[in-house]
């Protein structure tokens, strides 16, 4: 018996093998490795495994669009002049020549009309930013709906929420920089929001603007935030987000061979690096194509900001649309107490709701683990249907978001769909409250139905599409057993924990506040898991398999007997 030993090291030496002979590339690599320790660092990471699924690439869209935004942003800083010094425009765009405007606006026009490739870069920067925030959101939805936020990933969830917040602020400051009519209208709105804060509002506004609105320092201040402070924070948090991703390892869908202890997928090199690297170019190309084809923020049409001017269709970028929508539909509620004005119509939609929504978002993993009492580590994902209440909570939040969002475009909806803006407003006032409840109920029942469908497939097989006519003349569709791999995947989930009963809690001897909390928790857990379908037991599955085999035999003998036993024999 001969063993191939050509691949086995010939020594027991402790120094790593190095390239022999006059290979230049090898010599350079050795030189670098001896000084930088690249080999050791890469040995582990170069083969790091990532599971493959399209939904795992949504965060990548965010990462790559962020890179595009950074690159195009650097280009724009070379020409943008963040100054509110008033000058007379003298560039290439005729209809604004001679008009007084800030240097910021004039340099934005110069980038658009006089810098080669400038308009493309501006539009790519803006489209990239829109895609960046949108992809963060769909990534977040994926993480939530598959339960990827569970222990040990709760902190990464929080970092993700902070990234979303910072991305939004970054977007708003960028929207404000060109100092065009839309920018100024947005900044004026922000000024109003700050001033709506009771007591301290006007101080905050004067502090931010360096005096009365608009002053001449808001653009330079936003600029510092936009190109230095927030991108720095974003980069740091993106780095932390990804380091934690590497440290936790990526979650994966359950399936044969996949456990809580392993990751099944492709190694970083050569497969995943090629896929991810290729995706970068696709994202870059898509954003470049959008920048080249679709107009975004045509500042020359808005003209320079002037507090006396405003335009119909003044909207924020999409990610600020939902608070704007709430602002549009809230009734004009105000109270005056001791000479202090409380503008609830501004405070509630703008100063209360966005921070509240963010806090709800950040708290979701903790609320869920408190209710379910699940403190275990999870690396296998859950299908949205297998956590019906969780899925329904997110869909309810999405419905609230979507309706508020629609309210932000109520004027455009009115003119494009020939509706009355008043009726849209009245409808949405009710819908933002009722819609999420309806969405919650429908989603939850839908998920449970899907669970039942899965159970049916496991116990009775899948619908084969084979119709069999019985000797009596009745027709029935044959159900055939699922392939073992599929059956495994469907059953590779935990049973829901059984919530404590009131008697158990009483018996545990806790008293006072703790008792009430535990009872509340148990009650919430019962609601959370109620009506869920648990996976079949092993005995049930065996029995089902037995039955299925019998069915299969029967079908096979029927097929063997031929289809025309009861019909004409020959054609």
User: Hey, which residues between 276 and 305 contact another protein (CB under 8 A)?
Assistant: 278-279, 282-283, 286-287, 290, 292-298, 300-303
Residue 341 parent element (H or E):
strand 340-343
Angle ∠(532,55,398) on CA atoms, nearest 5 = 60
Residue 340 parent element (H or E):
strand 340-343
Mark 110-129 with x for binding to another protein (rule: CB under 8 A) and - for no binding. --xx-----x---x---x--
204 binds another protein (CB under 8 A): no
Parallel, antiparallel or unpaired: strands 462-469 and 49-50: unpaired
Q: Which is nearer to another protein, 112 or 389 (CB)?
A: 112
Q: Which is nearer to another protein, 193 or 529 (CB)?
A: 193
| CA terminus-to-terminus distance, the chain | 64
Q: How far is CA 200 from the centre of its chain?
A: 35
Site for another protein in 76-105 (CB under 8 A): 94-99
Stretch in the footprint of another protein (CB under 8 A) among 219-227, 252-260, 309-317, 394-402: 309-317
Question: To the nearest whole angstrom, how small is the minimum distance from the Cβ of residue 321 to another protein?
Answer: 7
Question: To the nearest whole angstrom, how small is the minimum distance from the Cβ of residue 418 to another protein?
Answer: 8
Question: What tokens appear for 170 in the block?
Answer: 């970054």
DSSP state of 319: G
Q: Which is nearer to another protein, 38 or 298 (CB)?
A: 298
Q: Which is nearer to another protein, 154 or 411 (CB)?
A: 411
Question: To the nearest whole angstrom, how small is the minimum distance from the Cβ of residue 89 to another protein?
Answer: 9
Site for another protein in 171-190 (CB under 8 A): 181-182
| Three-state SS sequence of 471-518 | CCCCEEEEEECCCHHHHHHHHCCCCCCCCCCHHHHHHCCCCHHHHHHH
313 binds another protein (CB under 8 A): yes
57 binds another protein (CB under 8 A): yes
Q: How many CB atoms neighbour CB 383 within 10 A?
A: 19
d(CA 222, CA 214): 13
Contacts of 42 (CB under 8 A, 6+ apart): none
72 binds another protein (CB under 8 A): no
Q: Which is nearer to another protein, 172 or 440 (CB)?
A: 172
Stretch in the footprint of another protein (CB under 8 A) among 190-198, 349-357, 412-420, 469-477: 412-420
Q: Which is nearer to another protein, 60 or 216 (CB)?
A: 60
Question: To the nearest whole angstrom, how small is the minimum distance from the Cβ of residue 170 to another protein?
Answer: 16
Site for another protein in 138-167 (CB under 8 A): 138
489 binds another protein (CB under 8 A): no
Residue 468 parent element (H or E):
strand 462-469
Among 33, 52, 506, 551, binds another protein (CB under 8 A): 52
Closest C-alpha to 89, from 299, 290, 296, 257: 299
d(CA 222, CA 220): 6
Q: Which is nearer to another protein, 159 or 182 (CB)?
A: 182
Q: Which is nearer to another protein, 302 or 528 (CB)?
A: 302
Site for another protein in 329-388 (CB under 8 A): none
326-330: which pairs have CB atoms within 8 A and are 24 or more residues apart? Answer: 326/350, 326/353, 326/404, 326/407, 326/432, 328/407, 328/408, 328/410, 328/425, 329/407, 329/410, 329/425, 329/428, 329/429, 329/432
Site for another protein in 249-278 (CB under 8 A): 266, 271, 275, 278
Q: How far is CA 405 from CA 62, 93, 532, in A?
A: 21, 35, 32
Question: To the nearest whole angstrom, how small is the minimum distance from the Cβ of residue 339 to another protein?
Answer: 33
Question: To the nearest whole angstrom, how small is the minimum distance from the Cβ of residue 97 to another protein?
Answer: 6
539 binds another protein (CB under 8 A): no
Question: To the nearest whole angstrom, how small is the minimum distance from the Cβ of residue 237 to another protein?
Answer: 22
Among 68, 131, 196, 407, binds another protein (CB under 8 A): 131
Question: To the nearest whole angstrom, how small is the minimum distance from the Cβ of residue 134 to another protein?
Answer: 5
Q: How many residues bind another protein (CB under 8 A)?
A: 74
Q: Which is nearer to another protein, 144 or 302 (CB)?
A: 302
- Signed CA dihedral, 476, 477, 483, 488: sign only: negative
Question: To the nearest whole angstrom, how small is the minimum distance from the Cβ of residue 399 to another protein?
Answer: 16
d(CA 319, CA 126): 13
394 binds another protein (CB under 8 A): no
Q: Which is nearer to another protein, 75 or 529 (CB)?
A: 75
Mark 422-451 with x for binding to another protein (rule: CB under 8 A) and - for no binding. xx----------------------------
Closest C-alpha to 349, from 357, 359, 340: 357
Q: Which is nearer to another protein, 293 or 561 (CB)?
A: 293
Q: How far is CA 426 from CA 127, 423, 431, in A?
A: 33, 5, 9
């Amino acid at each position: 018996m001969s063993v191939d030993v050509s691949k086995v090291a010939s020594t027991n030496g402790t120094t790593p093998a190095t390239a022999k002979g006059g290979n230049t590339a090898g010599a350079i690599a050795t030189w670098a490795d001896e000084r930088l320790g690249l080999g050791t660092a890469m040995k582990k990471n170069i083969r790091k495994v990532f599971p493959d699924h399209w939904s795992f690439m949504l965060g990548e869209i965010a990462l790559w669009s962020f890179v595009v935004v950074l690159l195009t942003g650097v280009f724009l800083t070379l020409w943008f002049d963040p100054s509110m010094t008033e000058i007379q425009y003298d560039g290439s765009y005729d209809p604004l020549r001679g008009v007084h405007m800030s240097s910021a606006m004039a340099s934005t026009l110069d980038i658009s009309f006089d810098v080669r490739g400038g308009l493309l870069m501006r539009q790519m920067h803006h489209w990239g930013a829109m895609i960046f925030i949108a992809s963060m959101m769909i990534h977040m939805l994926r993480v939530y709906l598959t339960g990827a936020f569970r222990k040990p990933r709760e902190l990464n969830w929080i970092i993700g929420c902070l990234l979303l917040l910072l991305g939004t602020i970054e977007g708003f400051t960028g929207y404000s920089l060109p100092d065009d009519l839309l920018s100024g209208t947005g900044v004026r709105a922000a000024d109003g929001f700050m001033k709506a804060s009771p007591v301290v509002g006007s101080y905050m506004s004067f502090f931010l603007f360096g005096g009365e609105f608009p002053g001449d320092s808001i653009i330079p201040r936003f600029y510092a935030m936009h190109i230095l402070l927030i991108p720095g924070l974003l980069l740091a948090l993106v780095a932390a987000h990804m380091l934690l991703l590497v440290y936790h390892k990526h979650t994966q869908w359950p399936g044969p061979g996949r456990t809580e202890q392993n990751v099944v997928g492709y190694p970083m090199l050569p497969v995943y690096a090629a896929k991810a690297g290729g995706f970068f170019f696709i994202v870059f190309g898509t954003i470049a194509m959008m920048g080249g084809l679709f107009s975004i923020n045509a500042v020359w049409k808005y003209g320079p900001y002037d507090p006396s001017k405003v335009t119909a269709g003044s909207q924020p970028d999409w990610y600020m649309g939902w608070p704007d929508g709430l602002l549009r539909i809230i009734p004009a509620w105000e109270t005056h107490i001791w000479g202090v004005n409380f503008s609830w119509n501004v405070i509630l939609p703008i100063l209360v709701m966005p921070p509240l929504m963010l806090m709800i978002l950040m708290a979701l993993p903790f609320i869920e683990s408190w209710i379910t009492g699940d403190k275990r580590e999870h690396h296998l994902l859950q299908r949205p249907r297998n956590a019906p209440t969780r899925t329904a909570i997110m869909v309810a939040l999405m419905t609230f978001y979507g309706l508020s969002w629609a309210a932000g475009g109520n004027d455009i909806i009115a003119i494009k769909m020939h509706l009355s803006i008043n009726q849209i407003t009245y409808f949405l006032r009710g819908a933002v409250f009722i819609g999420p409840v309806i969405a919650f109920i429908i989603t939850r029942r839908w998920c449970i139905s899907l669970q039942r469908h899965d159970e049916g497939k496991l116990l009775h097989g899948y619908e084969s599409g084979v119709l069999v006519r019985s000797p009596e003349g009745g027709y029935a569709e044959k159900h055939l057993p699922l392939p073992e791999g599929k059956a495994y995947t469907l059953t590779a989930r935990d049973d829901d924990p059984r919530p404590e009963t009131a008697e158990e809690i009483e018996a545990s001897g806790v008293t006072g506040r703790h008792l009430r909390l535990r009872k509340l928790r148990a009650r919430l857990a019962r609601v959370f898991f109620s009506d869920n379908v648990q996976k079949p037991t092993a005995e049930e599955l065996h029995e089902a398999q037995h039955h299925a085999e019998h069915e299969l035999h029967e079908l096979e003998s029927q097929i063997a007997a031929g289809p025309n036993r009861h019909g004409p024999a020959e054609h």
